[in-house]
Amino acid sequence: MKYDIDRFFRQDKLPHIWCPGCGHGTIMANLARAIDKADLDPDKIVVVSGIGCSGRASGYMNFDTLHATHGRAIPFATGIKLANPELNVIVITGDGDGAAIGGNHLIHGGRRNIDLTVILMNNHIYGMTSGQFSPMTPTGANATTAPYGNIDQNFNLADLTKASGASFIARGTAFNTRQLIEIFNDGLLHKGFSFIEAISQCPVNYGRRNNMDTAVEMLKWQKESSVNINKWDKLSDEEKKGKFPTGVIYKEDKREYTEMYQEIIDSVQKEA
């Protein structure tokens, strides 16, 4: 299928600054395809990002865009959305930005179930600062700050955001682009806090240090490690090892924050 996405990018800002083979470009392009598919009004879309490689996405996308501070994209987005609920507010974050320093805002955004679409590009590393481990760097992997192998556990971000109260949770990969478009589309159209983990690849700062020298190798790893959620539950624990489910992992109809607040305004103003 053909998507009309040139209009969603600031063409004069391309090529982007991401390294050769970086998955962020693929993910960003397919977010644009999902916006095209969902037929959203581009004048009413706001993209908010934090700091790090993922943070650069906002600069390329031709909407109202905010490149904010490290880890705080969700509270900025919360203010934008609550102040004007007719806006479609998309947060683009990374595994360092969103799951390390921004972890509190992620779970509280989910708890409020405010209508944001949060896309966390997970490349398993701090790329912009050249390769420190993140909360998503696999245990045992190498990183500049884990010269003897990483001893930290990872988050399961789908579990974490579900436990926080988010009402739409999905995971996709830069490898499976068609699935990614569907997931993004569903997340954009879902009313409530939508969290989408998009597995990306960082050949330069993660792959090189961990026996995956090229983007192609890393994409193959994504392919081999991902299992569609429809098939996931049928796997044995043994079969699940080293793998992760993709697709829409959780979805629930739940009252949305800005709507509830509007009800307060309506009722208070009616009384007055």
Partner 1 sequence: MPNKGKVKITHPNRCKGCNICVMYCPTDVLKVVDGQITVTDIDGCVGCFNCELSCPDFVLEVVEEDDK
Partner 2 sequence: MTNKAKLLQGDEAVVEGAIAAGARFFAGYPITPASEIAEGLAEKLPVHGGKFIQMEDELASMACIIGASLSGLKSITATSGPGFSLKQENLGLGMMIEAPCVVVNVQRVGPSTGLPTSPSQGDVMQAKWGTHGDHPVIALAPSSVKETFELTVKAFNFAERFRMPVILLLDEIVGHMREKVVLPKQEDIEIWDRKKPEVGPEDFNPYEETEDHIPPMPAYGEGYRYHTTGLFHDKTGFPRGTTEDAKKLMDRLMAKIEDNMDIISLYETDIRAEDEVVVLAYGSTMRSVINAVNRARDEGINVGWIKLKTIWPFPEEIVKKISQDVNTIIVPELNRGQLIKEVKEHVFGNAEVRGINKYDGTLIKPDEILDLIREVK
Partner 3 sequence: MDRYEIRLSGAGGQGMILAGIIIAEAVLYEEGLNVTQTQSYGPESRGGASRAEVVLSNDVIDFPKVIKPDILVSLTQKAYDKYSQDVKEEGIVIVDDSIDTTDSQNKTYQLPIFEKAINEVEMKLTANILVLGIIDNLIPQIRTSSIKKAIKNRVPENTVAVNMKAFSVGKKMAEGGNIGE
229 binds partner 2 per the rule CB under 8 A: no
We find the least distance from the C-beta atom of residue 87 to partner 3, in angstroms, to be 28
Which partner in its own copies, partner 1, partner 2, none is near 2 (CB below 5 to 8 A by kind)? partner 1
Which partner in partner 2, its own copies, partner 1, none is near 260 (CB below 5 to 8 A by kind)? its own copies
The DSSP secondary structure of 28-97, one letter per residue, reads HHHHHHHHHHHT--GGGEEEEE-SSTGGGHHHHBSSEEEE-STT-HHHHHHHHHHH-TTSEEEEEEEHHI
Q: Which of 17, 216, 235, 260 binds partner 3 (CB under 8 A)?
A: 17
Closest CA to 255 of 160, 158, 164, 167: 167
Site string for its own copies, 93-132 (x = CB under 8 A): -------xx-xx--xx--xxx-------------------
Interface of this chain with partner 3, residues 150 to 209, rule: CB under 8 A: 204-205
49 binds its own copies per the rule CB under 8 A: no
Interface of this chain with partner 2, residues 30 to 59, rule: CB under 8 A: 42-44, 46, 48, 51, 58-59
Q: Which of 15, 20, 147, 242 binds partner 2 (CB under 8 A)?
A: 147
197 and 122 Cβ atoms separated by less than 8 Å: yes
Interface of this chain with its own copies, residues 148 to 187, rule: CB under 8 A: 148-149, 151-156, 159-160, 162-165
Q: Which of 1, 20, 148, 153 binds partner 3 (CB under 8 A)?
A: 20
**Cα gap 151→155, rounded to integer Å:** 13
Handedness of CA 138, 144, 149, 153 (dihedral sign): negative
128 binds partner 3 per the rule CB under 8 A: yes
We find the least distance from the C-beta atom of residue 263 to partner 3, in angstroms, to be 27
**Cα gap 50→52, rounded to integer Å:** 7
Which partner in its own copies, partner 3, partner 2, none is near 171 (CB below 5 to 8 A by kind)? none
**CB atoms inside a 10 Å sphere around CB 10:** 12
The one-letter amino acid at 106: L
20 binds partner 1 per the rule CB under 8 A: yes
Tell me the two tokens of residue 33. 């395809």
